[in-house]
Structure 1
């Protein structure tokens, strides 16, 4: 069964249990009727009360002809509150009423547990879904993470031998390969690598293959992502993914980050509607900041 279907079924089962238990708790509480103290005295005088429980100022009572109470309900039918009547116990004993007493602070353990049960169930349900989100069952927490695919040198390598033609482009990219292979030599001479390389051409001319060949020749990791993966309906997600992508690149340096179809975010800055900042402009700004933030000996 699909994991999402299991999650929905679990949520529905827990929700039904919470509703049933909450309905049971409210029904149990409502089953005890509150009556005035004067009516309670009238019932005692008429001999209609068989048993009472005195808990401070609270008085719980049971009638003589009361039917058996359903499971889960209090054994007392009515409740009233004493205004400090001094002869109450004497009047009850004269009528043969069974008297019980409890401290005001004492309550039923099960009553307290039932009152807390809906909250505990909701807390447990939240914890289960939070754990599933952390374990990858839900990608909501990874919304701002980069979707780049990483190709390591141990996997199938692509070299310049796999790229036919474009000899001029290969020659221009030799400097990038040399820097990735031996960055210390360039650092000693004070050399600076270009912040990026823009590959232009019609679709199907081998731009992606050429970028993979550079990574294969230099034997460095290759990160590939599409420019459309940065643009979302939520503002700030694209910029967050750019920062996460370059953070992964720094952890695996030296490496190559290849952004395909970069024209999805490429545009003239400040050209938003009304001069405002939209999602594409924030993504482009984050990309330029990350590229400019690279030091001369990083790649």
Structure 2
């Protein structure tokens, strides 16, 4: 495998790893269940339709006793009155400590996009310095333009090297009529 392909493959792998890590951090904060308003939640509590709730910070998740989609989530401030009212309606209440994101995790989430852009910027700047503008030259043809008035070199211009003339004449003849040589098993060597 060429060195250029290895470098590109490495960069793609690093970007995919960063993106998957970034989404992994966000996926842990998503809760299951459908979102309901606090009014809908409280109406269900008063109708004795709530089996249990888990309160974590200002987020309440729980399970209805009846209904098609039993799991729900809503937001409300935790007060003593709220817990007392839930207990009066025989709702199983669990209060959990709110998880705090560690400093490194919040710093990584906020700085990761900037670091990624900076690394890509450095990569392109190194490519520009190394190859005289190779970084943005993908898609450009490497073919050279031949102008009709350019000086052409002919066999008459080559003096004293008869072997070179004969070899070039054989190559030209092969290119003009390849069937003649392929019938005899001849082919142009590679390299």
For normalisation by structure 1, the TM-score amounts to 0.31
Higher RCO (CA-CA < 8 Å; seq separation 6+): 1
For normalisation by structure 2, the TM-score amounts to 0.44
